[in-house]
Amino acid sequence: MCRILIIQSRRAPERCSFERCAYQRAVDADVLFDVESTLNADRDWNAPERILDGYDAVIIGGSSDFFLHGGMAEDDAERAGAIEVLNRVRPLIEHIISSDFPTLGICFGHQLIAEVRGGNVTHDHIQKKMGTYDLRKTEEGRTDPLFGIFPDTFSGQYAHRDSVTTLPDGAIVLACGENCRFSALRYGTNIYTFQFHPELRSQDLLCARETAEMYLARGVSIESVLRESPEAPQLIARFVNRVTR
């Protein structure tokens, strides 16, 4: 059985549970997901080998509770909390990168890894969004083991205020979008990070419509920017299959 650790940065237990279920839904039953919260200050985050011991891969997930920038003042609680999370998981991310440990970084996780690797994460009004948007594979994406089978253009579910605005050290761009320069990155051979949420369906975002005003321009309804994204969830299954091989 494949064992995967989900690193969560969420306060609400129901959101933590939903995220875990969304990943489970995207893969075969033979995958066991465990959860570790970055809010657990008692965990020894300076011992990444112990945290990852016994796991085949790790997912550093999203968060609607913390923003590395978010257009907020530096002393804002959500922004200060995000910096605390970043500093807490930095040793883990550095170990992941140095060992090329199989990893998915999703949304906030995508941004955390980018920050550790020298990429700038900021509140970009042009790139912030919520809904279903197209991604275009790059030349590198066309030959990538995960992305290669997909059409040159496919869709994904997004919900983010911050964006990576400078390409991180060692990152290869696999897919980009009209309003998302670095939609999918790969570091080394086994580390993939996505600004979009491959675990989510359009109806999942519809159920989270109460948060839409954080991400959408005034007057834009969440219903108007949603459609299906059939290819994106396959990325999780393909990643797991690659790990287990």
Return the active site residues.
107, 197, 199
Structure tokens at 75: 């002393």
